[in-house]
Amino acid sequence: MANQHKVVFTHGYFLHEDPKERVIMRPYPPLGILYLSAYLEQNGIDNEVFDATFSTPELLKAYLLENKPGIIGIYTNLMTKINVLKIIDIVKYEPTLKHTKVILGGPEVRNHAENFLRYGADVIVLGEGEETMLELVNHFIQGSNEGLLSIKSIAFMNEQNQLQLTESRPLLKQIDLLPMPNRKKINMQLYFDAWKKYHGQSVVSVSTMRGCPYTCKWCSRAVYGQSYRRKSAKLVVDEMEYLKNTYQADAIWFVDDVFTVSFKWLKEFADEVAARKLVFPYEIITRADRMNEEVIDLLKASGCFRVWIGAESGSQKIIDAMDRRVDVTVVRNMIQLSQQKGIQAGTFIMLGYPGETTADINETIHHLKVSNPDLYTITIAYPIKGTPLYQEVEADFTVFPEWDKGTDRDIDFKRTYNKKFYEYAVRLVYNEVRYHKEKLKANTNYLLLPYLKAKSIAARGAMLYERLKS
């Protein structure tokens, strides 16, 4: 029988199941549930964390059967959805776990709440989870005469088997009051060892803010909404100092969507780092319109060694269609200026956005050649439920998997050309840009150049074939 007072947090990401990540090998601890764990502990509720990253579904099942928690909280995102459903199956179909309450939170659950509840979850936490999870745990452990309706920002099935949503909970105004993530609950060394083996340095992830004030149409804001709340610079540097002293990590990955959104905060941060003489190299994501020479100088002085600057396209037409609200020329300038100041620059590219044509893809190739980032990644656009992009293309879906068999990543929609065209376009971009970079090298391999050009020509031919076919 389940131990009513035992609370366990977990997630559904198993590294061994992800062939791409096994090659990239940049695993990060599950900060979301570590924040929840710390918050509950701060409020007198002991809990455990089963970190699935380096584990297996079989070991997770064995752990649950042995420990029989009364409450299991599962972080759920688009990548882990199918595994989360499997975890729900374990709990609901094992007789010794029949009294275990399954609580889901994370970015995937808000817009699929009824589906998750009908599948077997007991409660869905909508949005920010700390206060809500504390109230839910107290409710299930201690009992409550008021029932679940008294708890804000949750979803559950009522006695009539209908979806019940409770009143929304205001976002936390002072995230300075939150404790640091409960990293001691997991084996951090597994992450450091993986990073050391594949990249030569150990990296630890840190969150300094919640929410994003921008309006990109493809981006989900299901947890923190379109908000911006920041920890004080002093507390962020406190956490950096703690991590350096406790784990001796080599570098930090700041997971914030737009690290330089506030120039005032950045100056306070840089001043605090300088005052403590805290040399701790770090990497960030930001936007070109929230950068300038002074910002880059502050980043460099405070330890930043790499900045990822979002662009998504080299075509201003597509950038505007995304509601990115940034000028592609500014993106190029900030990539180049960062490099001139001694900071590596990376960028993100998205192909297959509604309305994108061959001309737009050629502009993206030109953009990457001119800006010449040190690193870049490419994805093919897909609609996430709850986003403006999803609403725009929903009537044009061509592939829509059964809810419990796939995710929003598997959805396809009527694009300018078919999806295969854009898959070949990814190859074209990679080969054209690599060809350009190789030509610029002083010691280039001249045998490689015709090979790359041939691959580019082949990709263009395949794109033309797919275009004519559709």
Place of tokens 């990376």: 346
Per-residue tokens: 224: 């923190």
The pLDDT tens digits for 155-212 are: 999 999 999 999 999 999 999 999 999 999 999 999 999 999 999 999 999 999 999 9
Question: What average pLDDT does range 99-122 have in this prediction?
Answer: 97
Element of type H or E holding 330 = helix 328-340
Cα separation, 266 vs 367, whole angstroms: 28
3-state secondary structure labels for all residues of 180-202 = CCCHHHCCHHHHHHHHHHHHCCC
- CA Rg value for the chain: 24
Domain boundaries of the chain, sorted by first residue: 3-165, 188-376
Q: Is 453 in a helix, a strand, or coil?
A: helix
- CATH superfamily placement of domain 188-376: Aldolase class I (3.20.20.70)
Binned at pLDDT 50, 70 and 90, residue 142 comes out as: confident
Instruction: Single out the residue of 384, 315, 385, 374 nearest to residue 350, CA to CA.
Output: 315
The pLDDT tens digits for 222-274 are: 888 888 999 999 999 999 999 999 998 999 999 999 999 999 999 999 999 99
Per-residue tokens: 120: 């077997």
How many CA atoms within 13 Å lie on the side-chain side of 48?
Answer: 15
Q: Is 178 in a helix, a strand, or coil?
A: coil
Q: Which CATH number fits domain 3-165: 3.90.1150.10, 3.40.50.720, 1.10.3720.10, 3.40.50.280?
A: 3.40.50.280
- The answer to whether residues 279 and 317 touch, using CB atoms and an 8 Å cutoff, is no
CB atoms within 10 A of CB 420: 15
How many CA atoms within 13 Å lie on the side-chain side of 185?
Answer: 27
Rounded to two decimals, the pTM is 0.95
Cα separation, 459 vs 378, whole angstroms: 16
